[in-house]
Amino acid sequence: MGAAQILEKSLDNKYTKFTDIIKKETGRLVNLLNDMALPATSIDKQDINIHEATEHVIDLFKFDLKNKNIIFEKDYDPSIPDVHTNKEQLIQSLINLVRNSIQALDYKGGIILRTRSESSYTIGNKKFQLVAKIDVIDNGPGIPEEKLKEIFYPMVTTKNEGMGLGLTIAQSIVMQNSGLIECSSKHRETKFTIVLPIRSYEDD
């Protein structure tokens, strides 16, 4: 982070957006590594606006020249209440999902980040009054039906690059935060959905 601060002083103001991203990512990754060394019950969680996470992820990928032919679209529901979760881990899960979509698109196409809330939703064996949903939707070729049930397994991938661990790690992180990731796919529409609890029936 110190190097980014030094670099920032030598650049024009129009480039400070890049150094801001570097500083944020450095701090986030340090916190993420610290949290991953803790048991799930000890992970630091706080009430966050999920759109802070989605915006951070879009900025990360948008300013990478490799992604110049990727068009990001935002479809947010601003009325979603804050979610009690670990911000660094949520961002990492979104990074893994968006990177997966970019690779599936072969670096050319469209990705939508959409947020919604839904009532009376069951995660595992527990039913919640209200959950937040973050969709990462790409218009790529889709995932073969026979692979859909295996995509969260380690070392399973339909792409030429990567080790097939990104989705596994994303699912593990979200589960540590009492949520889940769902996936549906057809030609020109693959959707990964992060579901996180907002309010349980026990909160009344």
Return the amino acid letter for 156. Answer: V
Amino acid at residue number 169: I
Closest to 101 (Cα-Cα) out of 148, 136, 144, 66: 136
Contact 190, 98 (CB under 8 A): no
The predicted-structure confidence for 36-64, as pLDDT tens digits, reads as follows 555 555 688 999 999 999 999 999 999 88
Q: For the residues 137-152, what does the mean pLDDT come to?
A: 91
Type of residue numbered 142:
G
pLDDT at 34 over 60: no
Strand segments (E) across 28-77: 46-48, 70-75
Q: Is the dihedral of CA 191, 196, 201, 204 positive or negative?
A: negative
Q: What is the DSSP letter of 80?
A: P
- Which secondary-structure segment (H or E) carries 5? helix 2-9
**CA–CA separation, 1 and 23 (whole Å):** 5
Distance of CA 156 to the CA centre of its chain: 19
Rounded CA separation 133/135 (Å): 6
Residue 2 pLDDT grade (very low, low, confident, very high; cuts 50, 70, 90): very low
* Ramachandran bin of 190, using left for φ above 0, alpha for ψ from -120 to 50, beta for the remaining angles: beta
Instruction: Please tell me the predicted confidence (pLDDT) of residue 47.
Output: 97
* Structure-token match 């939707």, residue found: 137
Integer distance in angstroms from the first to the last C-alpha of the chain?
Answer: 43
Q: Which residue has the higher pLDDT, 8 or 167?
A: 167
Q: Which residues contact 183 (CB under 8 A, 6 or more apart)?
A: 143, 148, 151, 152, 190, 191, 192, 193
Q: Give the per-residue pLDDT at 191.
A: 97
Q: Is 120 exposed, middle or buried (0-12, 13-18, 19+ CB in 10 A)?
A: exposed
Statement: the pTM of the whole predicted model exceeds 0.85: no
